[in-house]
Structures are given as C-alpha cells and as structure tokens.
Structure 1
Amino acid sequence: MTVMVSAGEAILRSLKSNGVDALFINPGSDFAPIIEAYAKTGGADLPEAIAAAHENVVVTMAHGYFLATGKMAAAAVHVNVGLANAVMGLLNARSDDVPIFMISGRNPLTEGGRMGSRHTPIQYGQEMFDQTGIVREAVKWDYELRYAENAADLVSRGCSVAMTEPRGAVYMSLPREPLCEETVLPGAPSQVAPAASHPDPQA
C-alpha cells in the first residue's frame, strides 16, 4: 500500500534516513507541515527537534553538534530575516568546513488557490527577489523545493554534498505550497556521500 505524507514530513524522514539525528530549529509560520509531522508521529523516525530563541544560536548549535559527535545536524529558520540572522553562523561553519543542512522557509509563491498560498499582508513585505543570495557565498549547494515528489531526493543530494570533502553547509529553501503537498513516504536514501579515501598501508 502506498503511504502518502506531506513534503514536510518527507524532508524530515529523509534527513533521518541520511543520518541526521538532530534538527535545531527557530520556526516560523512557514513550517506548519514540519510541525504537524512531529505532532502526528510523536517524533518517531524523525530527527530530534531542539528549539532555540535565535537563528544564530540554532546554526551555532548545529556547528557544535558536529564538532562533538562527528555527525551532521540540520538547522531550520524562518523566511527572510530568519535566514539573514543565520548568516554569521553559516560563515563560521564555512571557515571550519562543518557540514550543516540549512533549511529556511520561503515566502508563498501563489496569491491563492493552493494550500500554503499567501494569506496575510506581511507575506508581501517578506518577499525577496533572491532570498538564497543571502547565504550563497557560505554554502556548497543550494536548492529551492518546487515539487513535493522531489523532496526526499533533494535532501539525499544535499546530505551527500555536505558530507563530501571538503565538507560544508548546504541550503534548501521551502516555499509553503510544495511543503504542504503530499508525496510518497520516502524509502532509503537515493544518494550517499563517498567514503573517505585513505592510503593503502601495504603500498
């Protein structure tokens, strides 16, 4: 039987299956499907969600988590100013070659007619021509989700890029409409980072 989940839940499940056990988060109104996924599952088979009161703290905790455990964490922040507040943490991660799967909301793409469309005046004030431009200099890879069915594969791709040497942060922006749409429950990761190479001691 085919099990359908929101793209938000698919992203979380794909993060977990790609070895991401922690999600440091300062959420906004654009993350309803992600919050609903935790409410629905009780957090089972999802990264542990750890909330913080500021976006720079969220990214810094993900940075420290990798230094302490050797495992990549995810960090999630609100659209627009939330991502701007995360920049310093991403620049620090870049200077240390620390992998972080960075996620932010993205202003709705549509005026109406879809789940997640614009519904408040603030969403016009939050619109940016190139939100990703805020962090592009600090990340190895960036992508904007457009179709729910691509969500899990994009997470696998991002995790693979982040964990490939030299390691570093990657960024995925999540417009509300595709984040709300349903897709098939993801299975095993579609990509994995290559294993680190070592010299042959017998050579």
Structure 2
Amino acid sequence: MIAIIDYGMGNLRSVQKACEYVGYDARITADKQTIRDASHVILPGVGAARDALQNLRERGLFDEAIRAAESGKPFLGICLGMQLLFDRSLENGEHECLGLVPGEVVPFRVNGLRVPHMGWNSLQIRNNPLFSREESETYVYFVHSYHAQGVEEGDIIATCEYGYPFTAAVRRGNVFGTQFHPEKSGDAGIAMIKNFGGLRL
C-alpha cells in the first residue's frame, strides 16, 4: 500500500489516481499508523514551503515524514514535496525543511524567462530505478518558481535546463524527489509512478 501524506496541500487525488491507474492501492492519509504500515510513501505538494511546513508540524506529520523516510521504505517527494526534502528553503524567508537530502531551495534567477517555470521540458536522466533503463531523455511537466542548489552530485538523478541547468530529480538511498509532476506528465510520468511503486529496497 502506498500512503500519500495529507497535510492539506497538494493535488492529492491526482497522485492517487495515477497510482491506482497502474494497479496500486494508494491511500490519502494523515493517520500516522497508516503511514507506518505502508510499503511506500509519497509526499506531494503544491504551494509555498512555509505553509507546507507549518501544516506538517501542526498535524504532527513533520517528524512522521522523517520517520517514514528513515525506515528504509521507498519515499517520494513530488514538486514542493521534493523541495521539502532538503535542509532548508529560502522561499519567503528561511525555513528548516526535513533534512533528508543535503541542499537548499532557492528562487530561479533567469533573465528574460518567465517565472514560474511552467509547462513541458526535457529531462536529462542518469541511470536509476525511477526511470526506464533505455531512457536518457524524456519530457515532463513542471510548475515551480524555486529549485534545489548545492545538491551532492551523487544524489542527482535527472537535470533540466531553464536559463541554466538545475536539479530536476534526486535520490538518496530510499528517498526520491521529482521537481516535476509525474502525475501530470503523461505516459512518462505514469511509468515513473509504476517504477516507484514496484521498488523493493
């Protein structure tokens, strides 16, 4: 069973439907025991880091998310959920995040390009179990104004370019993150969800 952490932000139902489409039992939940019983955990997110962190703490899910990731089960952060994996975010101030992946989240600084970075863009993929082995490039859907920097090279599993190269997906042990939305990325995104749900680490 895949637990989709419900902290009041994120397109929860879209993520659940993508999981169900490939045959997985996925439950939107704020219940700690359900999260502990799950074989896989997804932390989705849409919106601002400060609000997300506040909601996680108020619902007692900040420490629970860390516990789930440290348990060794496959753990996936999507979009804002990926940004929350890092040490800190500089979105509207400085905020301590989950600290599961070294790095920090900073605003895009691109001349002549719109922010947020929104729409389809190509990923440059490095070999890892979230993506199909034969792929080196694929197109996915982004909506974000911030991105991770200072990420260790070995943790980066995909990059993208928007004015300059940025980290688009990470893996540190059992913890994965995608800056893009797999659930909105057509067949390529569905394949990633299927691969994630099939992980046995």
TM-score, scaled relative to structure 2: 0.37
Question: Greater relative contact order (Cα 8 A, min sep 6): structure 1 or 2?
Answer: 1
Larger helix share, 1 or 2: 1
Q: Which has the larger radius of gyration?
A: 1
Larger strand share, 1 or 2: 2
